[in-house]
Chain A
Amino acid sequence: MNNILNQIGIENYIFLCVILFCIGVFGVLYRRNAIIVFMSIEIMLNAVNLLFVAFSTYHQDAQGQIFVFFSMAVAAAEVAVGLAILVSIFKNMNTIDVGKLKNLKG
């Protein structure tokens, strides 16, 4: 079986993932809606996952994919807890604008 990367090239995946990751970072910085921030985080996670899979193919080794499984598990847990926190914040403060969550102020 031919390696698919022969035709695409690992560099392209790297560029794609970097840009995807940066978009995620941009989203976190740009938006103040906590849910969108969450989505941006998911984007970043996915960028990394994609890179894992790409390298897994590159090395012809399944370990990278295993890692992605775990990453997904963690992401799922994180979203569940994170959204629960968001809901309770919303219930308490009636907003999910991160700009208004200033209780950390020292």
Chain B
Amino acid sequence: MDTSLILVLLLSPFIGFLFNVFLGKKAGKTIVGIVGTLSVFISFAVTLSFFLQITQTKQAITVDLFEWISTQHFKVNFGFLLDQLSILWLLFVTGIGSLIHLYSISYMHDDEKMHSFFAYLNLFIFFMITLVIGSNLLMMFIGWEGVGLCSYLLIGFWYKNQDFNDAAKKAFIMNRIGDLGFLIGIFILGSMFTTIDFTSLKTAISSASDTNDLWMAIAALCLFIGACGKSAQIPLYTWLPDAMAGPTPVSALIHAATMVTAGIFMITRMSFLFDMVPSVQNIIAIIGAVTSLVAATIALTQTDIKKVLAYSTVSQLGLMFLALGFGAYEVAVFHVITHAFFKACLFLGSGSVIHGLHGEQDMRKMGGLKKAMPITFITMLIASLAISGVFPLAGFWSKDEILMTAFHHNIALWVIGSIASIMTAFYMFRLMYLTFFNEFRGTEEQKHHLHESPSLITIPLIVLAILSFIGGIISLPGNSWLNDYLAPLFSKVTQEEHSFGTTEYTLMAIATIGALAGIGLAYKKYLKENTIPSEDENITGLTKVLYNKYYVDEVYDAVFVKPINVLSNFFRDSVETTLSALVFGLGKATFQLASFGRRFHHGSVGFYLSMFTLGICALLTYLYYCNNF
């Protein structure tokens, strides 16, 4: 029963994918949209039933289908594991997935390749489900690479633009760098513990003596590199902002709510490993904090509405890693969920705006949309408040918990995290003010066409806004449903309930004040003074550095891409020709020898005969003396 249900869960989006690929063009846009959305919705429904089941039984479900790969040390089964974590993840993947599919029906309606868009989206959901429910690291890796592939396909969805293709390629390759780390981590774990199955690994690692500490640390680090690639952390984060080249629903689904959180999922999954290696945990925390700060500073100056959101995503992911670094997995998960709600809402909102403006993404050319798009405005406002961490919205609770954890472990990182979240409030409201307030700065024609988006777009927005508003209730401090739900997963008992005292209230107060301060600054600058970010060429000083993203792309280009290309040219033009010349040289040497020998064959019979006689003499002498002595 479970097996077939799992198969329904898994294959339903895949069937949707197949349908859209093979019949999509003939079936017409409406049917494509319905089939695509429905297939994901079926998965969601199945997940719900599993969820209800597991809240009662509290038993994880494992299913092994068949043996896939085997090595000398371990066998890998094609198997699935549904425990609290994976079902929770499935819930919001398929849930938000269905909403975004719904949204896309309207958003992509004018695109001639709508069927392939839905096919890719379904495929993405399929791989995401595989990633989440895989029972071992390698199954997870299928999904891991699969979602990377879908991300590639969707970023490059408008394939006629080579810049978009470049962005897609960049995303795939940077992910692959992380994937190599992931693979190496699998190798080390596999040979150390002779299994890569989550359940058996957990037992093996928990009972392992500390003798292999170094290798375990390396393995953990390698896995973390994988997570860095997928979840866009320093140093592999630069692909995510570029990934905004894809259609907006994609940005919402893949590059905000689900795929990019896969790294967090993996680390949470492997929490038993990371708990054993505090040194790696420290690295994770530091990288998380630094990423969150760096991304937030970049977001301050971006003018492309989606870029702002992208950097905001990187920054929020950094915060989640900060929490992971402290071993506060459920806190990270909590933030993943709330973030999924409000970030999806923000992206879809921005999509609605872009849709309304016929593709305009530059905030300098927006403004005053409040009246034209009231639903979009309100939902986005709620989401912005949530992400800024304003009481009592979802973001407040989750972000506060992260900062609180940070405060208890490391003050410096707490400071960084807090600054990042103040900046978050600032740039989010900068975005809001620039987009929705004051006068419209676009062309007359755009102004003429301004309108609220159709209901297929606004319904998901409203649902997500409500979720962003109330999402916090799943884990209120002191009475956390989420923590109880996830408790069976984590071996550590150290996550005792913080005694809820004055420190906590102070921290909450500081966070709220910080958020309000950020909003206030933005209000002062962009609403009161009505500042509009200057044009590209007028940007100077620190702003220019920030606007150009610290020139990281350029540095990467100069340090990695260019040298490889130069090396490639060098190999192609010099080394290849040299090697070839060497081989030909051998041939030429033979030729030279031949033309040297040719001189003795000048056709003089007398000479030939003389040599012949000489040869016979030599031969006779040789034979004679050899036989005698």
The interface of chain A, by Cβ under 8 A from chain B, is 25, 28-29, 32, 98-99, 101-106
Contact = CB atoms under 8 A, between A and B. Distances in A.
B601 A29 contact: no
B4 interface: no
B212 to A, nearest CB: 72
Nearest to A26: B613
Q: Which of B601, B603, B605 has the most CB of A within 10 A?
A: B605
A102 B609 CA distance: 14
Give the 7 A-B residue pairs with the shortest CB-CB distance, closest first: A105-B603, A102-B603, A106-B601, A98-B605, A104-B603, A106-B598, A105-B602
14 contacts: A28-B609, A29-B606, A29-B613, A32-B606, A98-B606, A99-B606, A101-B603, A102-B603, A102-B604, A104-B603, A105-B602, A105-B603, A106-B601, A106-B603
B613 to A, nearest CB: 6
A98 B609 CA distance: 11
Interface in B585-611: 598, 601-606, 609-610
Contacts of B610: 29
Contact of B605 (A25, A101, A106): A101
A99 B598 contact: no
A102 B606 contact: no
Given A98-B606, A99-B606, A25 B613 contact: yes
Q: Which of B602, B604, B609, B613 has the most CB of A within 10 A?
A: B604
A101 B609 CA distance: 14
Contacts of B613: 25, 29
| Majority-rule SS of B interface residues | helix
Contacts of A29: 606, 609-610, 613
Given A29-B606, A98-B605, A102-B602, 20 more contacts: A25-B613, A29-B609, A29-B610, A32-B606, A98-B606, A99-B604, A99-B605, A99-B606, A101-B603, A101-B605, A102-B604, A103-B603, A104-B601, A104-B603, A105-B601, A105-B603, A106-B598, A106-B601, A106-B602, A106-B603
A98 B613 CA distance: 17
B119 to A, nearest CB: 70
Contacts of A106: 598, 601-603
Contacts, number: 28
A98 B598 CA distance: 20
Contacts of A101: 603, 605
A29 B612 CA distance: 10
Nearest to A22: B613
The number of chain B residues touching the other chain, given as a range, is 10 to 19
A29 B614 CA distance: 11
B599 to A, nearest CB: 9
A102 B602 CA distance: 7
Interface of B: 598, 601-606, 609-610, 613
Nearest to B601: A106
Contacts of A32: 606
B616 to A, nearest CB: 9
B386 to A, nearest CB: 92
Contacts of A28: 609
A28 B613 CA distance: 10
Nearest to A31: B606
A39 to B, nearest CB: 15
A102 B608 CA distance: 11
Contacts of B606: 29, 32, 98-99
Contacts of B605: 98-99, 101, 104
Contacts of A104: 601, 603, 605
Contacts of B602: 102, 105-106
Contacts of B598: 106
A103 B598 CA distance: 14
A103 B602 CA distance: 9
A106 to B, nearest CB: 4
A93 B598 CA distance: 25
Nearest to A103: B603
A104 B603 CA distance: 5
A104 B602 CA distance: 8
B394 to A, nearest CB: 93
A28 B612 CA distance: 11
Contacts of B603: 101-106
A99 B604 CA distance: 6
A103 B605 CA distance: 10
A105 B606 CA distance: 13
Nearest to B594: A106
Contacts of A102: 602-604
Nearest to B616: A25
B170 to A, nearest CB: 62
B602 to A, nearest CB: 5
A39 B600 CA distance: 27
A19 to B, nearest CB: 15
Contacts of B604: 99, 102
Contacts of A105: 601-603
A25 B605 CA distance: 13
A30 B598 CA distance: 24
A29 B609 CA distance: 7
Nearest to B605: A98
A65 to B, nearest CB: 26
A31 B606 CA distance: 9
Contacts of A25: 613
Nearest to B608: A104
A105 B613 CA distance: 20
A106 B602 CA distance: 6
A106 B603 CA distance: 7
Q: Which of A99, A102, A106 has the most CB of B within 10 A?
A: A106
A103 B112 CA distance: 78
A96 B603 CA distance: 15
A29 B605 CA distance: 9
Nearest to A105: B603
A28 B603 CA distance: 16
A106 B595 CA distance: 9
A32 B604 CA distance: 10
A37 B610 CA distance: 13
A82 to B, nearest CB: 14
A90 to B, nearest CB: 16
A102 B603 CA distance: 4
A80 B610 CA distance: 25
Nearest to A30: B606
Q: Which of B601, B602, B606, B609 has the most CB of A within 10 A?
A: B606
A51 B603 CA distance: 34
A40 to B, nearest CB: 10
A105 B598 CA distance: 9
B84 to A, nearest CB: 88
